[in-house]
Amino acid sequence: MKRLFILGAGSMAESFIKGIVEEGVIDPRDIFVCNRSRRERLLELSEWYGITPADSMARAADTDLVILAVKPYDMMEALKQLRPYLSNQVLLSFAAGIPIDAIRRATGGHPYVIRTMPNVPVAVMQGAIALSAPPTVPRDKLRRVVEMLAGLGQVVEIEEGLMDAATAFSGSGPGFISYLLEAMEQAAVELGFAPELARRLLVQTVIGTAHVLREWDLSPSELRRRVTSPNGTTHAGVEVMQSRGVYEAIVEAVRRAAVRAEEMGREYTREG
Ligand SMILES: NC(=O)c1ccc[n+]([C@@H]2O[C@H](COP(=O)([O-])OP(=O)(O)OC[C@H]3O[C@@H](n4cnc5c(N)ncnc54)[C@H](OP(=O)(O)O)[C@@H]3O)[C@@H](O)[C@H]2O)c1
């Protein structure tokens, strides 16, 4: 990929830019970024990462890859504006819920549309990136995109039918995990810790747990069993969570997020 155009300069776009600039596979000046109205945001990103602010979508015309990083409810309108400048570029959508078919319809049948669900840790090259591409995307184009994304984390190719599920536990995952940590931090503070000190231990606990799960190739339930001795502290805590239905609540939260992704797809791609 030589030149990128990013549509929408929000938080996901910034995470992506940060990772891709650090990866060093593309000159930041060849990353063109546009917003709907907030010009100051583009200047900020230009100052921080060296990208080139773009005043209009016309800048997309001579790029190889266009990243669709607007909110799902802005997608159809943004694609209408982008359509005149499309030729051979690959479109890479980050948007929750929006089906590939809807993007193709809104762009007059553009064949090269790839749908991804990245998450915020792409900013530090630790992203989880689910990706789905239809057969209309030639394998060499797909390979180049996958290679670029692989520098930002773990890429997993899935069928598009699983994309809303990936959105729920992987796209929204950092939010859910942070929510658990909020509660753990509150408890730590109530038990006498300063928040910053508690946070240092908590963040390392998450990082360490993730590493152990991966390096020892354990399932979460196996690791939980290993660290839970009968009548010990973990056991006492897990018992409280079980009696309060925390497990079921988490299952329901992920299910609800998946349903919401699907609803957004329907709501925001309705024609006419
Ligand atoms: N945030 C996450 O953790 C996350 C994770 C995975 C996927 N995603 C997906 O990433 C996408 C972006 O999310 P976000 O959280 O980064 O959103 P965001 O912070 O609200 O940013 C969206 C940006 O899109 C711009 N925009 C809207 N309409 C436009 C148009 N017609 N032309 C050009 N720019 C336009 C907005 O510009 P103005 O401010 O000037 O209006 C805004 O800067 C969403 O589709 C979301 O589903 C997000």
pLDDT digits (tens, 9 = 90+) for 188-208: 999 999 999 999 999 999 999
| Intrachain domains 4-160 and 173-261 with the same fold | no
Residue-wise pLDDT tens digits, 122-157: 999 999 999 999 999 999 999 999 999 999 999 999
With a 6 A CB cut-off, is 70 part of the ligand 1 pocket? yes
pLDDT at 272 over 60: no
Long-range contacts of 98-101 (CB under 8 A, 24+ apart): 98/72, 98/264, 98/265, 98/268, 98/269, 99/160, 99/265, 99/269, 100/132, 100/134, 100/160
Is residue 271 very low, low, confident or very high in pLDDT (cuts 50, 70, 90)? low
Q: Which CATH superfamily is domain 4-160 in?
A: NAD(P)-binding Rossmann-like Domain (3.40.50.720)
Tell me how far apart the alpha carbons of residues 127 and 164 are, in angstroms, rounded to a whole number: 17
> Do residues 57 and 85 lie in contact, with contact meaning Cβ atoms separated by under 8 Å?
yes
Query: Domain ranges in the chain?
Result: 4-160, 173-261
- Top-level class of domain 173-261: mainly alpha
Share of residues in the chain with pLDDT > 90 (%): 97
The helix/strand/coil state of 156 is strand
Is residue 81 lining ligand 1, measured as CB closer than 6 Å? Answer: yes
Give the Å distance between the CA of 207 and the centre of ligand 1. Answer: 28
Which residue carries 């939010």 as its tokens?
175
Give nearest CA residue, ligand 1 atom 18. 10
Pocket test for ligand 1, best of 70, 103, 124, 172 (most atoms within 8 A of CB): 70
3-14: pLDDT as tens digits: 999 999 999 999
Whether 97 has a pLDDT exceeding 60, the answer reads yes
CA of 120 to the centre of ligand 1 (A): 13
Query: Is 86 annotated as belonging to a binding site?
Result: no
Distances (CA, A) of 69 to 13, 79, 250: 6, 11, 28
Q: Is 56 in the pocket of ligand 1 (CB under 6 A)?
A: no
